[in-house]
Structure 1
Amino acid sequence: MRSTLRRFQQRWLQKRIPAQSRYDLHLRNVFVFPSRLGFGFLLTCAGIFILGTNYQNNLMLLLCQFLLAMFLLHLFITYRNFTTLSISIKSVQPVFVNEHALLTLQLQTRRNSPQFYGGLHVRLQDTKLASLNRRADLDKTVKLLLPAPRRGVFRLPRLTIASTYPLGLFRCWTHLDFNQTLTVYPTPIASALQLATMSGQDGDAVSDIPGNDDFDSLRTFKPGDPMNRVAWKQAAKGGELSTKTFTQTQLKSGWLSLDNYPGEPLETALSLLTFQVNKLSASQHEFGLKLNRISIEPGSGESHKHQCLQCLAGYQQSELLYAAD
């Protein structure tokens, strides 16, 4: 029953407040209702009215009418203040699992509108993101941190933005859908490169060539060898002069494949591939990605890197970061 009502509410919101990148608050996308304090205020007015009627006390009746007039005036003030705002959001950048995504809100007072007063409360479903103060936070960019505990490609649900200015008797709020998608990449796990060769290439995709990275072996000293490569410890023990040789890893174009990890859980395998995508991209090597029937042709650069990471993030995604709208 509860889920049915929630789906009905979301369908109604989609019609009343459709998704867009920027909102000017007005009558059709704003809701106003008495707060708990407001209902307590009304209950107090009812008590004063009953006492004034019972004792035929005109002063108490006058006080009741004055308080009710103030109550209705606060309804107008709360709504009028809230609808001076214009709200937009910047694109949400991808993050890795257990990092925090950055939501960048832009809150502005509309042109030819009175100045906004009071504070704002921002929520994402049941998660409170921020309480904003007028002087410190509004009319500028506001950065909100959103936890990302699972990998995947998620559509952000509606942001709830509310105000109780001036005395908290009424709560004025709106539910805004900025049509934003959050991509959460798997957590990188360090591993050795497993790069399969492309068709038409001979040998392994990973090979060692002379270089300066990793120690390889000792050979007999030859005149002209750099003195910083001489193995002085061996020479001090009475041995002949020897020269250290080093190698560095040379990568050919190849494929990263999920099939290279048949015994690993899916999430672990995706994390291992994520590390290798980052490592290959940092060294500007060309590579492709295969996830069963999904294939990304070999390439390099930042756009290719993010394409591969997004594919890893959304592969066999089975959970939602937040409950569906």
Structure 2
Amino acid sequence: MSRLIRSRFPSGNKSWVKSWINRRIPRSDVQVLTQRNLFILPTAAGVVFGLLLLIMLLTGINYQNGLIYLVTFLLGAVFVGAMHQTHRNLSGLELTLVQAGEGFAGDDIVFLLRAAAGKDDAIALTLSGDERSVPVGHVPSGQSVDVTLPVPSAFRGYLRPDRIRVETRFPFGLLKAWSWMRPMSAAVVFPRPIAAPEVISAVEDGEQTASSRSPEGNDHAELRPWREGDMSQRVMWKRFARSGQMVVADWEADKGSPHWLDFNAFAGTDHELRLSYLSWLVLERGKSGARFGLNLPGQVIEPDSGPAHATRCLRALAVWGEEKPRDAFAAPHGTRKHTDTIKHTGKPTEATSGAQT
């Protein structure tokens, strides 16, 4: 029997229930709560209340006590009335995703939602999603309230919550009515900035050189002590073997344009770490108001300055090698494809597709 169940539902009951909910509540940035997508069940207190009513009813039947009957049916009417009121709190409520926010990996990304009540007041509402909950309170009939819901992020890329839950337990907490909203729009998560080492840019005047010239044999060098973050290729190892001093050489002739931030300048470094370095450099240039450009495999942003330019560069770093989540695909903590292999054309190779959870 168990084999038959597993063959019919290979992913288990939980996966089947999730698929059923996704079919019943399709992705949309606007969700109107109706009888079709509203759910209601007793809370733990409601279950205990129902059991007490059952015990009181059996006691009344056993002793043929009219007072016990009266109290039992009166409390039962209260329970039924609470059921209608709890369901009524959410019926006709409209949830709209106004704006999907932006931020850095590891931070909470803010989603701006708008809750608009229908012909009835929406009372004691709570919005929640991915370990965060925000009390909404009372939304008068025909009015709307803006709510900011923080969603945790872990990786750069696109961030789209699987489901945002709206719930109410008014008036007595005996029942809870709830539904979900499955947003279509995705937020953008920037790479987490990490202090970048000093590197040699291979970009000059908007064009990338065929290859960086090797510093070996170059006499125009400035020696300085080694600092944490310096690349091992630039350490004077022969000098270290002779004297035990860790020094790094800066070759002036090999430096590219100071106006460019180059992805290929961090040779031998993991691609995600490169993007974090570039994110930090973009922030530093943005703070100083300096003019800079960004060179990524398959994408070049010409030099400019200002907050808008810095934000554009951060967005380019966030979505490099990424695809927007499809309608049926959700990435609870953002997406990040493996782009460690670069084609000869210089474009990123998407080796795998999936969500990092």
Superposed pair shares fold, TM > 0.5: yes
2:23 matched to 1:19?
no
Q: Distance in 1 between matches of 2:127 and 2:34?
A: 18
Does the CA contact (< 8 Å) of 1:156 and 1:179 recur in 2?
no
Corresponding residue for residue 299 of structure 2: 296
Q: Distance in 1 between matches of 2:73 and 2:278?
A: 71
Offset of residue 147 of structure 1: 2.4
Question: CA-to-partner distance for each residue in 1:114-164, whole Å, 9 max, x for gaps?
Answer: 2222x1222214x1322232279x832112222223333233210111000
Which residue number corresponds to residue 160 of structure 1?
Answer: 165
Q: In the aligned structure 2, how far is the partner of 1:135 from the partner of 1:200?
A: 57
Residue 306 of structure 1 corresponds to 315
Q: How far 1:102 sits from its partner (Å)?
A: 0.9
Conserved 8 A contact 1:270-1:312? no
Q: Is the 8 A contact 2:190 2:315 kept in 1?
A: no
Asked whether 1:316 is paired with 2:320, we answer no
SS in 1 for 2:14: helix
Q: Which runs of 4+ in 1 moved over 6 A?
A: 200-205
Matched, 1:78 2:86: yes
Native 8 Å contact 1:32 1:79 kept in 2: yes
- Is contact 2:260–2:292 with CA below 8 Å preserved after alignment? no
Q: Is the 8 A contact 1:277 1:308 kept in 2?
A: no
Q: 1:163 to 1:105 in 2, by over 3 A?
A: same
Separation in 1 of the partners of 2:208 and 2:73?
Answer: 90
Say which of 253, 257, 263 aligns to 1:257. 263
Identical positions, percent: 20
Where 1:27 maps in the other structure, the secondary structure is coil
The one-letter code of the counterpart of 1:46 is L
Unaligned residue ranges in structure 2 (runs of 5+): 1-5, 214-254, 304-308, 323-335, 340-352
Match of 1:116 in 2: 122
Q: How many residues align?
A: 269
Displacement of 1:180 in angstroms is 2.9
Residue 128 of structure 1 aligns with which residue?
132
Larger strand fraction of residues:
1
CA distance in 1, matches of 2:154, 2:317: 20
1:8 to 8, 12, 16: 16
Partner Cα distance (1:203, 1:131) in 2: 57
Q: Distance between the aligned counterparts of 1:309 and 1:160, measured in 2?
A: 27
TM-score (norm 1): 0.71
Distance 1:289 1:105, change over 3 A: same
Within 1, Cα distance between the matches of 2:111 and 2:211? 47
In structure 2, what is the Cα distance between the partners aligned to 1:276 and 1:80?
53
1:79–1:172: 8 Å Cα contact kept in structure 2?
yes
Alignment partners' CA distance in 2, 1:319 and 1:152: 12
1:92 equivalent in alignment to 2:96:
no
Paired with 1:203 and 1:7, the residues of 2 have a C-alpha distance of: 51
For residues 78 and 210 of structure 2, what CA distance do their matches in structure 1 show?
85
Structure 1 residue 267, shift from structure 2 partner: 3.8
Question: 3-state DSSP class of the match of 2:36?
Answer: helix
Give the whole-Å Cα distance in 2 for the aligned partners of 1:272 and 1:74: 57
Amino acid at match of 2:290: S
Deviations 1:275-314 (A, max 9, x none): 2344566533233212xxxx21343435355223321784
Judged with a 3 Å threshold, the aligned counterparts in structure 2 of structure 1 residues 102 and 200 are, in CA distance, closer, same or farther, namely closer
- Match of 2:127, SS state, is strand
